[in-house]
A and B are shown apart, each in its own frame.
Chain A
Amino acid sequence: MSSDAVKKRKPKVVRNEAGTPETKRSRAEGDQVTYPAGPHLIGQRKLITAKNQEVRVYNEEVELEDRDPQQDYMLYKDTCADLAKLMAEIQELKSSGAKVGSVEIEERHRQCSVHFITLKKLNRLAHMRLKKGRDQTHEAKQRVDVLHLQLQNLLYEVMHLQKEISKCLEFKSQHEEIELVSEEEFFQEAPAEISRPHVTRDDNHQLTLARLDWELEQRKRLAEQYKMSLARKEKIQKAIEQKREYLSSLQPGLQNIMQASLPVQEYLSMPFEQMQKQAEVARHLPPPLYVLLVQAAAYGQACDKTLSVNISGDVDEAKALSRRPEDSQEDESDSDAEEEQQNTKRRRATVGVQLEDKRKAMLRRHPLSLCVDLKCKDGSVLHLFFYYLMNLNILTVKTKVSTATDLSGAVSAGELLNSESLLNCLYASDHGKETPNPANRYQFDKVGITTFADYVSDLGHPYVWVQKLGGLQFSSDGAQSELRGSALSASHMEKTMKLLRGRLQARLALHKQFSSLEHSIIPVSSECQHLFPAKVVSGLTRWTMMSYQEFTELGFVQHVLKAGLVCETDLFFMAVVERGTARLLAAVVLNPRYPEVMPLFSLSLHWKGERSGRTEDNLRAMESEVNVFRAELQGPRPGLQLLTNQIQRLCVCLDVYLETESQVCDGSEGPREFPREKMCLRTARGPSRLKPFKYNHPQGFFSHR
């Protein structure tokens, strides 16, 4: 730094540089150096070498140390004062008119110059002092700086060390995360070479180390065990796999055996496999169908060997249904929402389609259905297919009749075995057109279904007895029974099956009878021959079916309609009985519950005018003769001869009527059209002149009732 300061001043003392090599040279010479007096050799540095001790140098700096600044200051002042004085003298002299180059002035000039030189020296000295002072300050400062630096280094070091210490102190060794067994356990369990209690009890560090050792050892041991267990497990797994394969290879073999045993089962009438399969499938049936299956099978086993129950339908779909009912519902609702979103963007035409889809979804059937077969003695079978509508919670039934012989020929019998109406009114007023579940009304309103009747032909008839067989009881039923579920089903099973069988047999019998009636033959069985005389002249000439519309248009049946004895579900027929010129029209109303309900005849006679039961008492009596006496006419159980007996009786009554009519008047013109052949006690009785319509067997005469 001091050299820097000197170097700064170098331009000022350029002369010194030039002088320096001289001094160096001079040193090298080793000569004594003489300084030429002169102003240009001012301020040379003192260079003393060890060699040149005798060299005398003039160094102002050395001189500086000797002089006292105060003195110099006084000197300066004096010099200045002198100078001022001299100037003043000069002035005076000049002003006093002295010459320029006079000696006094020259003298004074010389003195001034000397003073000037003194002043310059003093200036120089002052400068040098300043410089020296600065240098000294500088050095001190530097020394201080160095120390300061050292101090800072040390402080930094200290801080660093402190940080390190604190870090070290905070250091959590991993060993602390390891859960070690407690000390007592450790001392108990660990072997002595590890635990080294004599050392570790005193020294925590050693204790921890020992514990870690122990931990390590334990872990090693356990790892070994683990590996061994894994290996064992693998082995066992392999063994299991092998056994499984073996079993699965057995499966086809067992199947074959089962298949082969089927004929044996059938031969022995022990259909185990069938029953097992059925039981398996039955697990997926919805509850009402399951109840029906169980009860029907039980009834079939116990009471009625000709009844058989099967399950048909898609089992996989049923499984899918039962597995994910929530998901499928969510899917449906999601897809509905998506569809709706899509549809609102489209035109309105698709709203109907959407509604249709909703309807279809509501009317969905469970994929499984039951098939109940009722076999009759003559080989005909009534097949009943029971379906369950999931959303509506009702059961429906569809029917099919298969007969041993081919039924044909009877045109009027077309409706009899029609599967739509076969089971109509099995119980009174059970038409099966509307759903018996009142909750369905609200469901229908949501999707715009007005009546269930539109879908009945597709989905089957929801008769009330079907619901009862499935154990479903709805509050709208008349009789509030306490039974539910299986008990309800069981209580109705026998009666319903009997009714079904009776219905089938009645319809088949009617079918046969109709085909015979259409050929104008009244089939009277031998057990009922006693009801009629041997010879019946009037004959049935026509037997046709009518519709409800045609029936209501007839004039002579209005009293029946007014009395409310007829409803649309009944079957209507027209029978024409003729004898000679007389023609008797009989409109027959056949209730679906035949033969529990007697067919109703209404008569109209065309003979010498038109008479009907309303206008003539005798025709009324004939109507009552045919309609009222069920006990006589129904014949042997189960009373399937009822209709034919009624028709036969009608013919007999017409005979009596016609024959006794001509009896009344005597002396009539010409021969009688109907000669009297019947034996009657009395031909007219009472004020209303009633004819004897009652036939007495075996005497064979007619009398009044």
Chain B
Amino acid sequence: MSVFSQSFSPCGRFLAAGNNYGEIALFSLSAALSPDASEGSQKPILNFTAHDGPVFSLLSTDTHLLSAGNGEISAWSWAELIKKVSQLFSKCMCIFLGLGKMYISFHCCDNSLIVGGGDNNIHIMDMETGIFKSVLKGHTDYIHCLCFKEREEEILSGGEDGAVRIWDSRTNRPVHCIEVFKYEECARPQFGKWISCLATDSDWMLCGGGPSLSLWHLRSMSPTSVFPLPGCQREAVFHQDLIMSVGEGPYVSHCLHGGTVKAQIPCTPSSLNTLALNLKNTEHRVMTVGGSSHQIDVFTNFSYRAFSLSF
């Protein structure tokens, strides 16, 4: 089993995780973190099959959980899920997003869902009506990751073709295109050119994948620091003044903006696919990582692994 995606509930007390069999499991963080937690509380409180293929992306809005897999996006109501009812709220078939099973990633901002898929394009869907409003074309290969800059309302997308494109969400026009693999500091031709993780923090952007994880200054469009992490990074986030990333290798890397790797915290899975921080809830402020194992590691203190939830 590989865990590909995670998402915390709006209240922050629950974690939803999706795996490669198309199942979504709901864990109760409050039960797992309580003092009298037992082995049973580390098991999912709800486990249901959401899709035929792997659930590559999960996203939580204020009321709903969106899951993407196998050419369709499904929405589940958090309220229902918390009551352990896995009733499908609505489903949207994105058949035109590519043939059969492909990889969808999305992001959401003010009621519209940004979906990137196997047809090399980014689609923007209105969540209330479910109508796709616009298409952003430009990538030459399928899209791995999306992220959104709220301040400038820009969409960043990274794809298999190695390019990071920045789009303006209001005008739906490409603004920039960065081909990361062309930069010698970052490029790692032995791995490839694909970009699998993107993160932004106002002016800064993190991107990594085939090329090494690098921190870019967006205004100058140049890499300021390159992180010497051995494997391909699959997800990276900014957290306070740290950069945390996961990828190949059984550890979570803590890096500083300067480009040094501060720590590598060992984890159970042999390689990690997803990292999630529960910042909405101060009580259950944890970091969870999942990867090529059925166990999802939970870090209460980000410096070491506390326990594992088992899918």
Contact = CB atoms under 8 A, between A and B. Distances in A.
Contacts of B192: 664-666, 684
Interface in B73-97: none
Which DSSP category, helix, strand, loop or mixed, fits chain A's interface?
Answer: loop
Interface string B46-74: 00000001101000000000000000000
A620 B4 CA distance: 15
Q: 3 tightest A-B contacts by CB?
A: A687-B234, A664-B192, A687-B273
Interface in B213-241: 232, 234-235
Nearest to A620: B292
A705 B190 contact: no
Contacts of A308: none
Interface in A640-675: 664-668
Interface string B183-200: 000000111111010000
A665 B211 CA distance: 11
A659 to B, nearest CB: 15
Contact of A705 (B101, B118, B144, B160): B101
Given A617-B292, A666-B192, A703 B101 contact: yes
A688 B273 CA distance: 7
Interface in A675-705: 681-682, 684-689, 703-705
B4 A666 contact: no
B14 interface: no
A141 B8 CA distance: 164
B191 A617 contact: no
Contacts of B196: 687
A682 B103 CA distance: 11
B142 interface: yes
B32 interface: no
B101 A665 contact: no
B103 A686 contact: yes
B234 A682 contact: no
A57 to B, nearest CB: 171
A705 B273 CA distance: 18
21 contacts: A617-B292, A620-B2, A620-B292, A664-B191, A664-B192, A665-B189, A665-B190, A665-B191, A667-B189, A668-B189, A668-B190, A682-B142, A686-B103, A687-B56, A688-B2, A688-B234, A688-B271, A703-B100, A703-B101, A704-B53, A705-B101
A614 interface: yes
Contacts, number: 54
Contacts of B298: none
Contacts of A614: 270
Given A687-B234, A705-B101, A617 B271 contact: yes
Given A617-B292, A682-B142, A686-B4, A666 B103 contact: no
A682 B274 CA distance: 22
Contacts of B270: 614-615
A198 B54 CA distance: 135
Interface of B: 2, 4, 53-54, 56, 99-103, 118, 142, 144, 160, 189-194, 196, 232, 234-235, 270-271, 273-274, 292
A666 B192 CA distance: 7
Given A617-B2, A687-B235, A703-B100, 7 more contacts: A667-B189, A684-B192, A685-B103, A686-B54, A687-B274, A688-B2, A704-B53
Nearest to B234: A687
A666 B189 contact: yes
Interface in A610-659: 614-615, 617, 620
A689 B210 CA distance: 11
Contacts of B142: 682
Contacts of B193: 666
B89 to A, nearest CB: 25
A687 B290 CA distance: 12
B246 to A, nearest CB: 10
A667 B181 CA distance: 12
A685 B273 contact: no
A21 B4 CA distance: 186
A666 B161 CA distance: 12
Contact of B102 (A615, A668, A685, A705): A685
A269 B18 CA distance: 67
B101 A704 contact: yes
Nearest to B193: A666
Nearest to A614: B270
B149 to A, nearest CB: 22
A688 B190 CA distance: 16
A668 B4 CA distance: 30
Contacts of B54: 686
Nearest to B100: A703
A665 B235 CA distance: 21
Contacts of B101: 685, 703-705
Contacts of B191: 664-665
A705 B167 CA distance: 32
A676 to B, nearest CB: 15
Contacts of A687: 4, 56, 144, 196, 234-235, 273-274
B186 to A, nearest CB: 15
A519 B144 CA distance: 46
Nearest to B196: A687
Contacts of B53: 704-705
A685 B194 CA distance: 11
Nearest to B145: A687
A686 B160 CA distance: 10
A491 to B, nearest CB: 38
A574 to B, nearest CB: 24
A704 B235 CA distance: 22
B311 to A, nearest CB: 15
A631 to B, nearest CB: 16
Contacts of B292: 617, 620, 688
A688 B271 CA distance: 9
A615, A681, A686, A705: residue with the most chain B Cβ atoms closer than 10 Å: A686
A704 B190 CA distance: 23
A686 B209 CA distance: 11
Nearest to B2: A688
Contacts of A689: 232
A687 B274 CA distance: 9
A556 to B, nearest CB: 12
A275 B292 CA distance: 66
Nearest to A687: B234
A667 B190 CA distance: 9
A509 B33 CA distance: 55
Contacts of B190: 665, 668
B29 to A, nearest CB: 24
A614, A615, A667, A682: residue with the most chain B Cβ atoms closer than 10 Å: A682
Contacts of A617: 2, 271, 292
Contacts of B274: 687
Contacts of A686: 4, 54, 56, 103
Contacts of B144: 687
A475 B156 CA distance: 70
A621 to B, nearest CB: 9
A365 B104 CA distance: 71
A664 B196 CA distance: 14
A684 B160 CA distance: 9
Contacts of B100: 703
Interface in A129-154: none
Nearest to B194: A684
Contacts of A681: 99
B184 to A, nearest CB: 13
Contacts of A682: 102, 118, 142
Contacts of A685: 101-103
B17 to A, nearest CB: 14
B193 to A, nearest CB: 7
Contacts of B4: 686-688
A620 to B, nearest CB: 7
A432 B101 CA distance: 48
